[in-house]
């Protein structure tokens, strides 16, 4: 797995809090930041997918209702048994 080198500017308060947590969980800064970015990426991917699925569901729902109405009209026009 290849790696990229980044320069990161962090707010002082966030940096201090991160360093404090790193000491407590005995983790490397690099590993911690990689895990955090990975988690954040997954969270945003899910959010994007959810929005897309909601949009597509809304598009399909109106068409589904039209099809249902057509089937109901067929049933109403069938001769009695």
Q: Is residue 5 part of a domain?
A: no
In a domain, 3, yes or no: no
Q: Is residue 30 part of a domain?
A: yes
Give the predicted TM-score (pTM) of the model: 0.66
Residue 52 resides in a domain: yes
Whether residue 57 is contained in a domain is answered as yes
Task: Please report, for residues 37, 43, 49, 51, 65, the alpha-carbon distance to residue 46 in angstroms, rounded to integers and kept in the order given.
Answer: 14, 5, 5, 9, 28
Contact call for residues 33 and 5 (beta carbons, < 8 A): no
pLDDT in tens, 19-73: 999 999 999 999 999 999 999 999 999 999 999 999 888 888 878 888 888 878 8
Q: Is residue 81 part of a domain?
A: no
* Inside any domain, residue 7: no
Number of domains observed in the structure of the chain:
1
């Amino acid at each position: 797995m290849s790696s990229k080198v980044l320069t990161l500017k962090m707010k002082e308060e966030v940096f201090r809090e991160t360093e404090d947590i790193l000491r407590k969980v005995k983790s490397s800064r690099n590993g911690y930041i990689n895990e955090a970015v990975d988690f954040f990426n997954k969270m945003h991917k899910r959010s994007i997918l959810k929005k897309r699925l909601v949009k597509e569901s809304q598009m399909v729902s109106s068409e589904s209702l039209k099809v249902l109405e057509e089937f109901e009209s067929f049933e109403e026009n069938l001769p009695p048994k």
